[in-house]
Amino acid sequence: MKLNKDNFLFSAKDNLISKKNFDIYWDSNKFFAWTDIKKEKDLSKYYDSKKYDSFKQKPSKIIDYLYSLVQTLMLKYKWSIIRPYIKGKKNSLDIGSGVGVFGKYCLKKGLKQVVVESNLKAFKIGVDKGLKSFNSLKKIPLNYRYQVITLWHSLEHIPNLNETLKKINTVLNNDGILVIAVPNLNSFDSKYYGNNWAAFDVPRHLWHFTEKGLELLLSESNFLLIKSYPMFMDALYISYLSEKHKKSYFPLIKGIIVGFTSNIKAFFSKDFSSKIYIFKKKVNH
């Protein structure tokens, strides 16, 4: 994969719903890539699958149980990251909440949790879980303020990046944090799998970030990167899914090998398969 000029990278297949190919282009000014959705006006149909991980509620296969176990561990990991920043101010907002797993976890931890989810089915599940829910970020009142705003693998789904980040800046406390987790286009597993890399997840993923590209985008929206954390398990799961896309024999074993390799290389390069980024507002004094 060459990321040195503004050009067509390749076509990637939607392996979940349509089986159609979508072109991916690299933007040399923004340092991230984008999915050409052409004349697709309604992307909601590309989320309508019981196999879509973010909307699953009950495991049905062995890999689902493993996913559920890892998800539980990741909830604790995510909580350990945001907890030091709460400082008694307990208003928290999760954008792109799926079926509300993280939101419910935070609610149990004592946060005044609000979630945003545009998918109608997932939105209703969040409401049933007792979460204060909005189906659009635009519907959050301007006088609301949050100490912690999280986007766990959801920024890459949002078409109107600048408008969304502007709204987030408005409703985030001046001493609050914005937490963003996204796949890393510069990771070893991304380069290894090319257009079979499962984290492309076209056309649901509209953007494919590098760390430099994400930091630049957020800086333009008046945010400052203060820290980042690796998501070790993502490399294993994404590599497993990528092997399935390739129709490999023993995809779980091969995926684990590639995932471990990606993590080991990332200890030196810092380009983990996915990372969590902590941003603060640039506040003028």
Across the range 204-213, mean pLDDT stands at 97
* Prediction pTM value: 0.91
156: closest CA among 213, 110, 83?
213
Across the range 120-149, mean pLDDT stands at 91
Tell me the CB-side half-sphere exposure of residue 164, using CA atoms within 13 A.
Answer: 20
Q: Which long-range contacts (CB under 8 A, 24 or more apart) does 104-108 make?
A: 104/129, 104/130, 104/131, 105/75, 105/79, 106/79, 107/131
**Stronger pLDDT, 94 or 4, i.e. the higher one:** 94
pLDDT recorded at residue 3: 44
Residue 93 in contact with residue 114, Cβ under 8 Å?
Answer: yes
pLDDT recorded at residue 59: 54
* Fold designation for 54-281: Rossmann fold (3.40.50)
Per-residue pLDDT tens over the stretch 55-84: 445 555 666 667 778 888 999 999 999 999
